[in-house]
Amino acid sequence: MAAQAVSDRAGAIAKLADLLAHKRQPVAFLTGAGMSVAAGIPDFRSPGGMYDTLRPELLTATAAERRAMASDPTAVVSWELFQRNPLPYLELRRPFMIRVLGDRAADAQAYAPTLAHFFMRLCHDKGLLRRVYTQNIDGLDYKTGIPADKMIAVHGSLGRVECERCGAPYPSAGSVAALKTNIKDIYGLDPDAPAESRGIPCGACGAAAVKPATVLYGRALPREFFRHKDTDLADLPLLIIAGTSLTVFPAASVATDAPAQTAKAVFDKVPRGSGGEALFVQGDCDESFLDLCRECGWVEDLRQYRPLMAAQSRALLDRA
């Protein structure tokens, strides 16, 4: 069933503010790509995104591997390819990974969380946050300061680096340097990049299988997703679904499996099916969460995070 708008957008926001600010109901979030739009994060599946602009001929791969990627762009992020050849994955995502893993204090180009992300941090600070289930791999949720045990990156995260074979963590401080030193730049952005790529070896097992901790196609989702989901949903008063099409399962099951007594709200530009009736807040995620902050009386609380926000989010908050 599609999300059902109450009489108007303002009415939906007022109902949510009553649950959060006045009744202080615990809330969980299921988030998608729309949460990160204001950060400038590219949506891989949309026109102009990674899959749409994939150029296999530029990647370090065999002719057969290039044909496979041309036929099915998801092959570039598959376990089947990575276990044979890790270089296409790393080459394709090199600039994105550097901006995600980078520290804003040292690199002005590093990605920063949005106002929408910091609304979740505000819920945590007010003792209302049960869990964040994010489908995004951009790692921005982890840059908000929300404790890691309150977040489940359903598809993994670029915010952590580890060995795909043995699972050993790779030092975060050295990951950006390793990418810049070992992986060629197919986009022509870095004149200091090497001409040829070589894998990044794991310090524990020695395999050249170091990569961000994203879930490759053909690999299992994190165990904590299945361990926590049913418990989190069992008595959940409020679920906010933001910036996701709800078409990718099992992540979308957070919405469809929520019990009937859970109030659900969908924040998106178009109504989405949520497995039952839901409040619908139409519009850009940053603008919608700012409006909810206003209704809750939390705008001044939100301003404390301004220095950590993406530039577009800071500008929106400055106009509030």
The residues facing 129 across adjacent strands are: 27
The burial of 113, by beta-carbon neighbours within 10 Å (0-12 exposed, 13-18 middle, 19 or more buried), is given as buried
Q: Which two tokens stand for residue 259?
A: 């019990």
CA atoms within 13 A on the CB side of 205: 12
155 is catalytic: yes
Q: How far is Cα 288 from Cα 53, in angstroms, rounded to an integer?
A: 30
- Listed in order, strand segments (DSSP E) in the chain are 27-31, 129-134, 151-153, 156-163, 210-214, 238-242, 263-268, 279-282
- Residue from 96, 92, 95 nearest 55 by CA: 92
Q: Which two tokens stand for residue 190?
A: 């870095």
Catalytic entry in 117, 124, 155, 228: 155
Instruction: Give SS3 for 209.
Output: coil
Q: Is the peptide bond before 194 cis (omega within 30 degrees of 0)?
A: no
Q: How far is Cα 70 from Cα 292, in angstroms, rounded to an integer?
A: 43
C-beta of residue 264 within 8 angstroms of C-beta of residue 255 = yes
Strands 151-153, 129-134: parallel, antiparallel or unpaired by DSSP? parallel
- Alpha carbon 149 to chain centroid, angstroms: 16
Number of neighbours of residue 10 by Cβ within 10 angstroms: 12
Catalytic amino acids? 155
